[in-house]
Structure 1
Amino acid sequence: MPFMDFTLTDQHNQRFQLRDHLGKVVVLFFGYTTCPDVCPLTLSTWKRLKDALGKDAQQVEFVYVTVDPERDTQERLAKHLAIFSPDFIGLTGTPEELQEVYSSYGVYREKVKVSDSAAGYLMNHTSKMLVLDKQGKWRLNISYNAPVADIVHDLRILLKE
């Protein structure tokens, strides 16, 4: 897939432009902070990946884009991601900015009302990690529950290119 640039706002209220991260491998995930299952598992996998990569982790950006901008404020993203790693990047934006990114990367998201939940609703969403190479090209789709050793192997191949 060709390079698809985007600009959103990170958890520290800084503009994040994907093209500024060319030269690094980028692992993208689309999730939300109140997710009860896939999202925390993915972030836990990211933490293990970062640890397993050692110094190579400096060449990998872990980028978490919200699918629930109504609830996922910058502050909430910052607090949530810091539980896993202060290096993880959390992104949000206007509905228009986010929709452009969702469309570019084929991200499915749907709000589902849940009457017996304090949250009021959950988000059904794409659960795969997308991996972009150093040129920003979308190269891999990885299941959230893929073995860490397999992901490390694939990331190291991309890092050598």
Structure 2
Amino acid sequence: MSKLTTALLAMTISFGAHAADTLGLKAGVFDPPRMAPDFTVRGSDGKELKLSQYRGKLVLLEFGYTSCVDVCPVSLGMLAEARRQMGAQASQLQVIYVTVDPERDTPERMRNYLRAFDPTFIGATGTPQQMARVRQDYGITATKKMIDGSKTDYTVGHSSYLYFVDRKGSLRALLPFGRTAADVVHDATLLLKN
């Protein structure tokens, strides 16, 4: 089990206690903050994407896949609303949507999918091995389940957390699925000030 996975489990268990950190974040916090595991994959623009290239911006990492019909579109819609609510500050924020289904999520497919939510969102995809490593580094589980009666179509059950990576590249906070755009705006605004 990776150090981040262990930290994620501990954080999830004591989520409420950590929500009241010194900044007043609504999310659970990484205390102390630690460097976010860097990765090099393919972006939805077809170019190499490194998490570290976004230093200087607040990065929101969301894990999901384009064929998802329930959790993922809700999360992306909420993130798009949060960006709208942030107004001019939204330019200091970058949403990166990391696929848990690299077999189907090509850069083009991710670009077209994300454009429907917010044209500034960037998709991250790669080989199954690359993406398995990213999931492992962030403590994300993903399991394929074949759809009844199909030999080729499947869903991917996966954990759904939103990671906040500050301008210096440190993991600062984690929100579980189901939080509101207002929660994201609140925490993003505080992290941009600190």
TM-score range, shorter chain: over 0.9
Q: Which residue type is aligned with residue 82 of structure 1?
A: R
Counterpart mapping for 1:1-161 below 5 A: 1-116=34-149, 120-161=153-194
Stretches of structure 1 that go unaligned for 5 or more consecutive residues are none
- 1:118 to 1:38, Cα distance in 2 relative to 1, 3 A: farther
- 1:55 to 1:126, Cα distance in 2 relative to 1, 3 A: same
The alpha-carbon deviation at position 119 of structure 1 amounts to: 6.9
Contact 1:28 1:130 survives alignment (8 Å): yes
Q: Which residue type is aligned with residue 63 of structure 2?
A: F
Which position in structure 1 is the counterpart of 2:17? none
Q: Aligned equivalents of 1:31 and 1:12: distance in 2?
A: 18
The alpha-carbon deviation at position 125 of structure 1 amounts to: 0.5
Q: Aligned equivalents of 2:63 and 2:101: distance in 1?
A: 9
SS of corresponding position for 2:105? coil
Q: Which residue type is aligned with residue 77 of structure 2?
A: S
- 1:76 to 1:119, Cα distance in 2 relative to 1, 3 A: farther
The alpha-carbon deviation at position 74 of structure 1 amounts to: 1.2
Range that drifts further, 83-92 or 139-148: 139-148
The alpha-carbon deviation at position 96 of structure 1 amounts to: 2.1
Q: TM-score, normalised by structure 2?
A: 0.79
Contact 1:3 1:138 survives alignment (8 Å): yes
The alpha-carbon deviation at position 158 of structure 1 amounts to: 0.4
- 1:118 to 1:141, Cα distance in 2 relative to 1, 3 A: farther
- 1:62 to 1:117, Cα distance in 2 relative to 1, 3 A: farther
Contact 1:41 1:144 survives alignment (8 Å): no
Stretches of structure 2 that go unaligned for 5 or more consecutive residues are 1-33
Q: Aligned equivalents of 1:145 and 1:81: distance in 2?
A: 19
Superposition CA RMSD, Å: 1.5
SS of corresponding position for 2:35? coil
Structure 1 residues 40-73: Cα deviation after superposition (integer angstroms, max 9, x where no partner): 0011001101100111111110000110111111
| Number of matched pairs | 161
Range that drifts further, 78-87 or 135-144: 135-144
